[in-house]
Chains A and B, each alone.
Chain A
Amino acid sequence: MSIQDIIQIILFITLLIAFTPILGNYMSNVFTGSRHFMQPVFGWSERLIYKFAGINSNEETNWKFYTFGLLLFNLTGFVFVFLIQIFQQYLPFNPSHLANVSWHSAFNTSVSFVTNTNWQGYAGETTLSYFVQMVGLTVQNFVSAATGIAVILAVIRGISRKTTDKLGNFWTDLTRSVLYVLLPLSIIFAIILVGQGVVQNFNSYETVQTLQGAEQTIPMGPAASQIAIKQLGTNGGGFFNTNSSHPFENPTPFSNFLEMLFILLIPAALTYTYGKMVGSVRQGWTIFLVMMILFVSGLSISLYSEYSANPIFGDLQLMEGKETRFGITNSVLWSTSTSAASNGSVNAMHDCLSPFAGMVAMVNIMLGEIIFGGVGAGLYGMVVFIIITVFIAGLMVGRTPEYLGKKIEAFEVQMAIIAILAPGFVILVFSAWASVSSAGLSSLNNAGPHGFSEILYAFSSAAGNNGSAFAGLNANTLFYNLTLGFGMLIGRFGIIVPVLAIAGNMAKKKITPVSLGTFRTDNWLFAGLLIAVILIVGGLTFFPAISLGPIIEHLLMKNGITF
């Protein structure tokens, strides 16, 4: 590692810390209905949307209505994206005359974008028309991220309110997230990206002659606008198949740095918003601290693994599959960020990471996508772990467990367990199914433990709504389209529904005032305990599976065997 690499990582983390309170404070203003500077700019369209859709923005609902609205909205989105894919050849903006998409691929893709996963079983430029990309996918990039924010807002209200059953208005939360947070940031970001050379046009693909004299088709399209939101909304679905390793998606070191930063920007800032809205900024920073410690640990392991000598090739840093333009550090920083944040965009092929760096990416996802995590999703996933931690810690100090004055009782524990079980179920059971069925095994690109890692990674990615892939797996088959599709649904709504139920139940409770016997949740001790619970629960669940994949592979590599 060179000194520049280290400076870049420090700069990256510093900027992330610096932006957190700025954006976090702004979002808190937006969501509490306070005045903020974007109101004059987009306020008219907010009012117009409410008027048009017949929404009374002041009317609040209980958790069941809130959940119902959320599910209905996502179902509508799914049906719409599904339909425009299977009929894309009859729809406009299809200059390259791409054919209709198969039903199972369309199912997989629409689930994928509705659930903020952006797993792509298809190659973007050869499968989907500009119309589907823009009207279907880009729209979902916005609203799926906004859905995540709406859930965490409901959780915040559940914690900070007392003896009420009102959790807010889903439609208002959704509209404000899109209008005042995602849209303005995306516009700024897209303009910067275009300035760096990312394409943004409606041209048909161009055919050029290469230096060797061969013919090559160069895909075009409105890439910058989709890339901006794919990073910001922790979506990750690339405009082109090779995602951000494509020069039209990620042309310069500066665009690379920004794209990495923008993956973590909103999830990190939401911790501050959370702290502000529950009435203690320290609580937010404690969560930020926990996420940052886990992030830096994973990054360190990956960097160490990539930079240490590979016993087969001697001292070389292996560049195969890495982002060759920007170097190993940028490949690893990206892989760690994208897997930590449930983003899923890539600039290097995770298949080609060293076993331990690949394992870090996989573990980041398996832990439940809570290391910053998806927009909103990471934070509410973290709240689930906080509930478990507070419960165990509360028992250990001999006090009925409470978090921010709310008692943690059987119902909360039960829902938290369901939320932890849902993705674990998908990862373990579906991977097991794939590794014994011929339909699952026939898609493998690599042999041995690496092939197993590919399967495990795919289902982890689906369950964690991450969307990145180990890329060695041919996932556009009936089997994988369906299993991964259902995996994404369970991984998304199997957490959202219990979390909203927790929020609804908490809102009904009284707030216990702080006393000497209250167990604090905003200090280093709690942060350490939370990390331990996350690692132990995650580790105990997945240790056998991981040891048969990346760990064996790493040990074999030490002995000079690769796959």
Chain B
Amino acid sequence: MSTKQNTNSLFNKKILIQAAKDSVFKLNPVMLIKNPVIFIVAIGSLLTTVVVISDIVNNSFSSFNFQIAIWLWFTVLFANFSEAIPEGRAKALTESLRNNRTQTTASKVEWSQEVSVYATELKKGDTVVCESGDIIPSDGEVIEGIASVDESAITGESAPVIRESGGDRSAVTGGTKVISDRILIQITSEPGNTFIDRMIALVEGAKRQKTPNEIALSILLSGLSIIFLLAVVTLPAFFGYSLSASGLPMSQNLTLPVLIALLVCLIPTTIGGLLSAIGISGMDRLLQRNVMATDFIPAEGVKNEELADAAQLSSLSDETPEGRSIVILAKEKFNIRGREVHQLNATFIPFTAQTRMSGVDFKTADGKLHQIRKGASEAIRTFVQTNNGFYPQKIQDIVSDLARQGATPLVVAEDNRVLGVIHLKDIVKGGIKQRFAELRKMGIKTVMITGDNSLTAAAIAAEAGVDDFMAEATPEDKLRRIREEQANGHLVGMIGDGTNDAPALAQADIGIAMNSGTQAAREAGNMVDLDSNPTKLIEVVEVGKQLLMTRGSLTTFSIANDVAKYFAIMPAIAISLYSGGSGVGPLSALNIMNLGSPQSAILSAVIFNALIIILLVPLALKGVRYRPVSANNALIRNLLIFGVGGLIAPFAGIKLIDVLINL
């Protein structure tokens, strides 16, 4: 199911068009040079283009050179395109966050006077007042009062959370909204360095630092490129020798476009082109919540199909995972097909933190305007009541019931009528015990650290299935334990929320602070888990592993491809050598693919090389599937798919393209 969802969003027209535009802008050399492999291709394209132009000037236009030049440029564009897609998706995600931030005003407390200032002017140490309905202007700590806060703008979680002064629940995040009561907040972040700022920077990739593994891989790819560069630049010399030995004129030596074509085919352009897309998509994936619609619960007097139809209609343009899963559920359960929004003459109303609803407005044939909304129960209640409708108690009961089960209820309404509830469920793979078992399979040992007494801790540890526990732990104990594990060579991930966890979070290799935790904890950790879910570690590890696997697999694929490309290009360029005048020399025996002509062989290899980048974009964005199996089994699987597959696929692909060219 997740495959389907991702493919849907991948072919979102808006993002694709934007990505196509961006891939041209990315031809800017300053941006290209960040990716050495693709930069080499770009230089090659430029040189080939110069050759083509000089051909035209000298009246000796060669359509072969021209086609090589075109396809080389496409190779660069495709690589840029693959990078632009996830960037576009990430940008769309941050757009609303940014609007939110720039337009907010705040009531700053100065000399016990309240002054209205822009949120962006607030400095660390300032104190602001937030009342019901206010957007919290910046990150801070509650110093007075208690309030319920809606954090859906950053967490996507519609249930409000309680924030109060003192204790472990005092931290608030800029961009979230106070729903009730009044609190005094001391700002703890400098402007431009708030949580939302950092999130925007992270998502847009501007500040995305390359991971050590990515750096190492870039070095490997650059090294391979240099090896191939050596193999290609020395070839004319070897070739010249062979020409004179076969009694052929030096004018038959390899031309620049042919050499560049060979080089571009050999250097790892596939992985080189997709490398940054893989990294960006990983960030993107971490931010997506794993929720899906599992059921439709209609209100009294409403048919199931009617609810499903309305729910689907309101979700057609909703690119969130929830929205997509609703469309799919409606189709699967009631066979209701997805429709194009603009065909229905409808306008899509996107979700905002203020309305906390999304939906569509459309006109029926009689010209009457209908509004379908789905959203949090409180928001829908207001919506229905404003339209002079009635919000049934039965619905309220279903909502409370679902919330108690840990699921997320979404209420659907049309105009003044409540249609029913959509049951959204987090895709948690089994219970907490199973998740710890998964961690164990990954080679991760879990230790529960608690301040409880040993007896209670033992009971909870057994219940949850952790490997080990530490009871009655002081902050010093936590720190010591982490240092011990690190001294034994272990990599330590720590999840915590309290102020007394902060030292341990800072010491751990990966510190994950709960979003619900204290400011101290959130500052000490390397990342903040917005969902405040302790098993988030599994997702973090999984996405990380997926990124590595995708990079490794595509590298293997890219290198394995070269074998076939040699068998296409070498016989093509060396066909005349030692031919004794017949024109077909001994190396034509290497033409095991039986390609049509030397020129079509080279062109096919170049075209294959360009197209494979585009074909692999979905894989790069989605990531190679991770399964919690042993390292050896994972290796065998990926080797068979990407190693052996990488050897065979280009033989078939190049042959196919060659047949098409020679039609």
Residues of A with Cβ closer than 8 Å to B? 162, 388, 391-401, 405, 408-410, 412-414, 417-418, 420-421, 424-425, 428-429, 431-433, 435-436, 441, 447-449, 451-452, 510-513, 515-520, 523, 525, 529, 532, 536-537, 539-545, 547-548, 551-552, 555-556, 558-559, 561
Contacts and interface: CB of A to CB of B under 8 A. Distances in A.
Interface string B195-237: 0000000000000000011011101101110111011111101
Interface string B16-57: 000000000000000000000000000000000000000000
B638 interface: yes
B338 interface: no
B213 A400 contact: yes
A417 B219 contact: yes
A334 to B, nearest CB: 29
A398 B237 contact: no
A26 to B, nearest CB: 32
A405 B626 CA distance: 23
Contacts of A558: 586
B220 A417 contact: yes
A539 B238 CA distance: 17
A513 B231 contact: no
Contact of B632 (A429, A520, A559): A520
A397 B586 contact: no
B220 A555 contact: no
Given A396-B639, A420-B227, A516-B630, 7 more contacts: A396-B638, A410-B219, A432-B238, A449-B245, A449-B578, A517-B630, A552-B574
Nearest to B547: A398
B578 A396 contact: no
Contacts of A559: 586
Interface string B550-569: 01110110011011001000
Contacts, number: 220
B234 A431 contact: yes
20 contacts: A395-B549, A396-B638, A399-B548, A410-B216, A413-B219, A413-B220, A424-B230, A429-B234, A432-B233, A436-B237, A447-B245, A449-B242, A452-B241, A536-B562, A540-B228, A541-B228, A544-B231, A548-B238, A552-B587, A558-B586
B380 interface: no
B602 to A, nearest CB: 14
A412 B223 CA distance: 13
B242 A545 contact: no
Interface string B402-441: 0000000000000000000000000000000000000011
Given A398-B634, A413-B216, A552 B242 contact: yes
B546 interface: yes
Contact of B548 (A398, A532, A540): A398
Given A388-B220, A410-B212, A548 B242 contact: yes
Interface string B616-648: 000000000010001110111011001100000
Interface stretch (B183-191, B476-484, B486-494, B649-657): B486-494
Contacts of A429: 230, 234
B227 A424 contact: yes
Which label, helix, strand, loop or mixed, suits the secondary structure of the B interface?
helix
B574 A547 contact: yes
A233 B563 CA distance: 36
A8 to B, nearest CB: 34
B90 interface: no
Nearest to B638: A396
A552 B571 CA distance: 11
A512 B237 contact: no
B231 A545 contact: yes
**Could you say which of A162, A435, A545 has the most chain B C-beta atoms within 10 Å of its C-beta?**
A435
A465 to B, nearest CB: 19
B234 A391 contact: no
B577 interface: yes
Given A417-B223, A452-B245, A551-B587, A397 B235 contact: no
A65 to B, nearest CB: 26
A560 to B, nearest CB: 11
Nearest to A425: B230
Contact of B223 (A420, A542, A543): A420
Interface residues on B, range: 35 or more
Contact of A392 (B226, B230, B552, B634): B552
A188 to B, nearest CB: 43
Contact of B237 (A432, A513, A520, A542): A432
B442 interface: yes
A480 to B, nearest CB: 16
B239 interface: yes
A543 B544 CA distance: 36
Contacts of B626: 398
Contact of A513 (B220, B440, B488): B488
B448 interface: no
B234 A542 contact: no
B630 A392 contact: no
**Could you say which of A398, A421, A448, A551 has the most chain B C-beta atoms within 10 Å of its C-beta?**
A398
Contacts of A162: 489
B70 interface: no
B234 A545 contact: yes
Contact of A519 (B213, B230, B632): B632
Given A452-B238, A555-B589, A532 B643 contact: yes
B238 A545 contact: yes
Given A435-B238, A513-B490, A540-B566, A399 B228 contact: no
Given A413-B220, A541-B231, A512 B490 contact: yes
A514 to B, nearest CB: 9
A388 B577 CA distance: 36
A556 B635 contact: no
A556 to B, nearest CB: 5
B349 interface: no
Contacts of B574: 547-548, 552
Interface in B236-261: 237-242, 245-246
A391 B547 CA distance: 14
A449 B244 CA distance: 11
B611 interface: no
B545 interface: yes
A397 B234 contact: no
Given A420-B227, A519-B635, A428 B549 contact: no
**Could you say which of A392, A537, A556 has the most chain B C-beta atoms within 10 Å of its C-beta?**
A392
B548 A556 contact: no
Nearest to A509: B489
A432 B234 contact: yes
Interface string B435-471: 0000011111100000000000000000000000000
B570 interface: yes
Contacts of A536: 559-560, 562-563
Contact of B551 (A395, A511, A551): A395
Nearest to B241: A435
B161 interface: no
Contacts of B546: 398
A400 B639 CA distance: 17
A424 B225 CA distance: 13
**Could you say which of A396, A399, A551 has the most chain B C-beta atoms within 10 Å of its C-beta?**
A396
**Could you say which of A399, A429, A447, A545 has the most chain B C-beta atoms within 10 Å of its C-beta?**
A399
Nearest to B553: A396
Nearest to A433: B237
B590 interface: yes
B227 A541 contact: yes
Contacts of A512: 489-491
B634 A397 contact: yes
B632 A525 contact: yes
A562 B433 CA distance: 73
B118 to A, nearest CB: 43
Contacts of A405: 489
Contacts of A447: 245
Contact of A547 (B223, B442, B488, B570): B570
Closest 10 CB pairs of A and B: A517-B443, A395-B552, A398-B545, A417-B223, A555-B586, A432-B237, A515-B443, A396-B552, A432-B234, A410-B216
